[in-house]
Amino acid sequence: MSGTELERAAKAFRARFGREPSHAAAAPGRLNLIGEHTDYNEGFVLPLAIDRWVAAAVAPAPGACSRLHAADLDETVEADLTGPVQPVGGFADYLIGVAAELAGPHPRRNLDVVVLGSLPPGAGLASSAALEVAFARAVLATLGVQMEPRELARVCQRAEHACPGTPCGPMDQLVATHAVPGQVTLIDCRSLELLPLPLGDTEILVVDSGVRRTLADGGFAAVRERCAEAAAALHVPSLRDADRSLLGGLAPSLRGAAQHVIEENERTLLAAAALRASDAEALGELLLDGHASLRDNLGVSCAELDAIVDRAASLRSEGVLGARLTGAGFGGCALVACRPGTGDALAGRFSDFPTTFRAA
């Protein structure tokens, strides 16, 4: 539940600004079971919302600028949220982007803001989307405005494109606006249709490699660009529309990206079918195949993530079903799917990594 984070945000607001916040809101993180780098190719994703949150507490600012405070970082940035968008770097950019994108017909005002959370930033668990959605919900509350969740997700995705300038797909914001922790959802990123599915009694561990990147670093944008080039070379609107028979005609530099997206869409639909059929073995195999493709076809893994997945694969006799990196890659976390009743013991097998926790 988000209660703890909301209380902590209100308390941190009082400590920082010496008065009560007028509004507070939270949004959850996500663990993507499978369907990686498919969302911005209009494909399929299968995320799970997790019980880790970002919360934002806000109140109208007394002065002519906003004071944006990240309590976990003990960092405050001053910015004018009523003026043109000017990126300043770091967490504040997400708030600046959201404030500008929300503006539209609504009045803009400066706010004192505290954000914090239980979601590690830069770990592939969609902390940016949770930050955007929590802050957007708090701002909308100050305006007394309701927004339909899909529209809110779109606003936050556009905000991230504008500032800090990361060309993310729609998955993370849709999970942050729609999903309930513990809920797996199959999302068709073309129609934006969401279908809840049961995880059953499979247990999920999250192992943090400790390697950090930010999507704003450029690696993510480069992969997205490669996918767009591959789609253009294949004369299809997006890689969602490509099929294997076309791969031979592509330059080797684009072939891996196209192959990954085509096969990852297939894997994601097969994983959804495996969940429906309670076939945890099949799900595990798909996770391992998905990791191999992210590593070999897309090149977004790293040595530490590969080490976690290799170790997991060697622990099948102890209950591991499968494992893969989750999120954009380049660092962050891997997930390990485990047979019922084995997750807690298996967590001990990853104690040399910075953090391991049960997500389901």
Rank residues 45 and 92 by Cβ distance to ligand GLA and give the closer one. 45
Does position 159 bind ligand GLA by CB under 6 A?
no
Minimum distance from residue 287 beta carbon to ligand GLA (Å):
14
Q: Which of residues 308-327 bind ligand GLA (CB under 6 A)?
A: 327
Is 172 an annotated catalytic residue?
yes
Distances in whole angstroms, Cα of residue 320 to Cα of each of 68, 159, 234, 274: 43, 39, 39, 16
Does position 168 bind ligand GLA by CB under 6 A?
yes
Minimum distance from residue 76 beta carbon to ligand GLA (Å):
26
State in Å, rounded, how far the first CA of the chain is from the last one: 14
Q: Which entry of 39, 93, 112, 172 is annotated as an active-site residue?
A: 172
4-19 in b/e burial notation, b at 16+ Cβ within 10 A? ebbebbbebbeebbee
Rank residues 59 and 168 by Cβ distance to ligand GLA and give the closer one. 168
Residue 245 bridge partners (DSSP): none
Rank residues 47 and 343 by Cβ distance to ligand GLA and give the closer one. 47
Indicate which single residue of 136, 171, 335, 338 sits in contact with ligand GLA (rule: CB under 6 A).
171
> Which listed range, 90-98, 167-175, 206-214, 338-346, lies at the site for ligand GLA (CB under 6 A)?
167-175
CA separation for the pair 332, 70 (Å, rounded): 21
Indicate which single residue of 169, 256, 284, 332 sits in contact with ligand GLA (rule: CB under 6 A).
169
Does position 135 bind ligand GLA by CB under 6 A?
no
Does position 37 bind ligand GLA by CB under 6 A?
yes
Does position 242 bind ligand GLA by CB under 6 A?
no
Indicate which single residue of 6, 31, 34, 40 sits in contact with ligand GLA (rule: CB under 6 A).
40
Indicate which single residue of 5, 36, 101, 112 sits in contact with ligand GLA (rule: CB under 6 A).
36
Helix (H, G, I), strand (E, B) or coil at 247: helix
Q: Which of residues 49-88 bind ligand GLA (CB under 6 A)?
A: none
Distances in whole angstroms, Cα of residue 358 to Cα of each of 34, 158, 206, 338, 341: 17, 32, 6, 10, 12
Q: Evaluate whether 68 touches 92 at the Cβ level (below 8 Å).
A: yes
List the catalytic residues.
172
Residues that bind ligand GLA (CB under 6 A): 36-37, 39-40, 126, 168-169, 171-172, 215, 327-328
